[in-house]
Amino acid sequence: MASLAMARDAVFQAFRPGRLWFLQLLTNPILFLLFAGWLLIPVANAWQLTGNVALAVVLVAACFSLHAGTINYYRDFYSGTAAGDKHPRWSDAFRRALRHLLAIAACAVVLWLLWFLLDNLDAYRKPLPTFVRSMLPVFLRRHIRLSELDATFGGLLFAARWIVVPGLLLPIVEVAADAGFRGFSRGRGCFWIWKHAVDSLWYWLILAIAAVLGVVAAPKILAWTPDFKTSTLRHEYASLGWRVVAAYLLGLTAWMVVCSLLGCSAAAARSRDDVSRNPRA
């Protein structure tokens, strides 16, 4: 029941911090436009190359600070709610994230390496289902088509890339965003926070739903096209506009719910850890 209450709070309370939502809504498009501008910077000489690298570092730092600060804010929000303070200072959450950029970057590198390894499995996307079906008995091959095995293998890759790997690493990212490399020590409760999250079935269920909404549904909406035989140019512009907005809002909602889930789980884990160490409290 405690896990169910945590999941319910993580979903419904994710929409409460209006200022945080406004910051996310405004900053992400700005970062995207800056990234698009960065792609246009030439690298014909040393000064241009230096500027290119410097802007790349600034963009990465800004992106890490924005999203790690969001996770910190939700952790402060749930911790403050439990202590009677429902209005944490959002600037403190982002300052902590900015101070711990190296620890956050280390987590991002680990995540990228795991994704890189999973990407190499795409080479087996076609031969592996064929091999598996060829090894099945005849009576099973009559009922299992190759397309079904291919879809199953693709679903497993999707789950590994967007649910399992992020689900295992995001609680560690939360610790890094809040306490930096010091958070990895056992005294800071890193293992307890990680275990509290991954032991919850609701944690994985919400992550799976968020992955489907943000990674599958949002691109599907963006890829929709009007009927070009009957639509006008104005109709196509309007369609593109609402599809971009809808896909962006859906992806952002999925991510904010995940941030809320991480903050809620970490606050609950820290609270239980404090009670177990101070039973008189």
pTM score above 0.85 = yes
For residue 280, the model assigns a pLDDT of 44
Query: Distances in Å between the alpha carbon of 255 and those of 33, 194, 261, 270?
Result: 20, 19, 10, 23
DSSP the chain: -HHHHHHHHHHHGGG--HHHHHHHHHHHHHHHHHHHHHHT---SSHHHHHHHHHHHHHHHHHHHHHHHHHHHHHHHHHHHHHHT-----HHHHHHHHHHTHHHHHHHHHHHHHHHHHHHHGGGGTTHHHHHHHHHS-HHHHTT--HHHHHHHHHHHHHHIIIIIHHHHHHHHHHHHHHHGGGGGSGGGTHHHHHHHHHT-HHHHHHHHHHHIIIIIIHHHHHH----TTT--HHHHHHHHHHHHHHHHHHHHHHHHHHHHHHHHHHHHHHHHHHHHH-TT-
How would you write the pLDDT of the chain (281 residues) with one tens digit per residue? 456 777 788 888 889 888 899 999 999 999 999 999 888 888 778 888 888 899 999 999 999 999 999 999 999 988 875 444 566 788 889 999 999 999 999 999 999 999 999 888 888 877 888 888 888 887 787 788 888 888 888 899 999 999 999 999 999 999 999 988 888 875 556 888 888 889 889 999 999 999 999 999 999 999 888 776 777 778 888 888 999 999 999 999 999 999 999 999 888 887 665 544 544 43
- pLDDT for the residue numbered 30: 95
Full residue range of the structural domain in which residue 210 is found: 2-277
Q: For the chain, how many structural domains are there in total?
A: 1
User: What is the rounded distance in angstroms from the CA atom of residue 131 to the CA atom of residue 30?
Assistant: 47
Instruction: List the structure tokens of 75.
Output: 């952790």
